[in-house]
Amino acid sequence: MSAVIEVENLRKSYGGTVAVDDVSFTVAQGEIFGILGRNGAGKTTTVECLVGLRAPDRGRIRVLGRDPMRDHAELTRWVGVQLQDSRLPERLRVGEAMRLYQSFYSDPADPEELLAQLGLAGRERTPYGRLSGGQRQRLAIALALVGRPRIAVLDELTTGLDPHARRDTWELIAGVRAAGVTIVLVTHFMPEAERLCDRIAVIDAGRVLVTGTPAELIEHAGRPTLEDAFVALTGRTS
């Protein structure tokens, strides 16, 4: 399995605040890679550097062998992104949003099929402003996948979803991976990481604490579950 994402010694600060201090990891073709960390650990900044929304202060990033900043235009064709805190115009309808994003790509997926898989069938005419939080979340996932990306970067995949929708979404993601798509999953929801991720990097205070399979992390921390392992790894009393 060849590496499709390589991050080496990434550092990024805003003014005086260091968001990412020193992060390195590689993601292999076709795997689901989890980035775990507490709020403010540097997960989102790492992802933003990965998709070329922010220039790193230091370090080297390669996505499909390209530089996310320099080769940004080319990479947008191959990398589908679900961002935190990114909304759509209130009056844009679900079907219109899908057709709009579909028009950006040369070989898109079938929007109706995607909407059906995400439980949004029959919602085509609903304006974005009238969707529930969970529906917006699922639409964002659909938009990330509509371009048939080779890599999908999903920030907070199932935040705000009810248990049923969450399980359906997990199934969809597993299916997308089975089709050969590499997935980077940012989360602080442990059952999700345990269920989906092949490997996980635990980030804390802008640094990678440990990388490994869920089983390896549990063993490493000497705790019964991934959640216990995570709390033990990232627990600071300060």
Q: Note the residues at the interface with other proteins (CB under 8 A).
A: 51-53, 73, 76-77, 79, 81, 83, 85-89, 91-92, 96, 99-101, 103-105, 143, 147
Listing from the earlier edge strand, what are the strands of the sheet with 17-28? 58-63, 3-14, 17-28, 207-212, 199-204, 32-37, 182-187, 151-155, 79-82
Q: Which is nearer to other proteins, 114 or 190 (CB)?
A: 114
DSSP 53: S
3-state SS string for 143-192: HHHCCCCCEEEEECCCCCCCHHHHHHHHHHHHHHHHCCCEEEEEECCHHH
Taking the complex as a whole, the smallest distance from the CB of residue 169 to other proteins amounts, in Å, to 19
Q: Which is nearer to other proteins, 3 or 53 (CB)?
A: 53
Taking the complex as a whole, the smallest distance from the CB of residue 172 to other proteins amounts, in Å, to 20
Q: Which is nearer to other proteins, 83 or 193 (CB)?
A: 83
Taking the complex as a whole, the smallest distance from the CB of residue 63 to other proteins amounts, in Å, to 12
Task: Tell me the pairing of strands 32-37 and 182-187.
Answer: parallel
235 Cβ neighbours under 8 A, 6+ residues apart: none
Q: Name the residue among 50, 105, 96 with its Cα closest to residue 77.
A: 105
Taking the complex as a whole, the smallest distance from the CB of residue 51 to other proteins amounts, in Å, to 5
Q: Name the residue among 219, 169, 221, 159 with its Cα closest to residue 195.
A: 169
Name the helix (H) or strand (E) containing 115. helix 111-117
Q: Which is nearer to other proteins, 153 or 218 (CB)?
A: 153
Q: Which is nearer to other proteins, 81 or 114 (CB)?
A: 81
Q: Name the residue among 208, 186, 238 with its Cα closest to residue 21.
A: 208
Taking the complex as a whole, the smallest distance from the CB of residue 216 to other proteins amounts, in Å, to 32
Q: Which is nearer to other proteins, 9 or 86 (CB)?
A: 86
Distance CA 53, CA 67 (A): 12
Taking the complex as a whole, the smallest distance from the CB of residue 235 to other proteins amounts, in Å, to 32
Taking the complex as a whole, the smallest distance from the CB of residue 61 to other proteins amounts, in Å, to 15
Q: Which is nearer to other proteins, 134 or 147 (CB)?
A: 147
Cβ count within 10 A of residue 41: 22
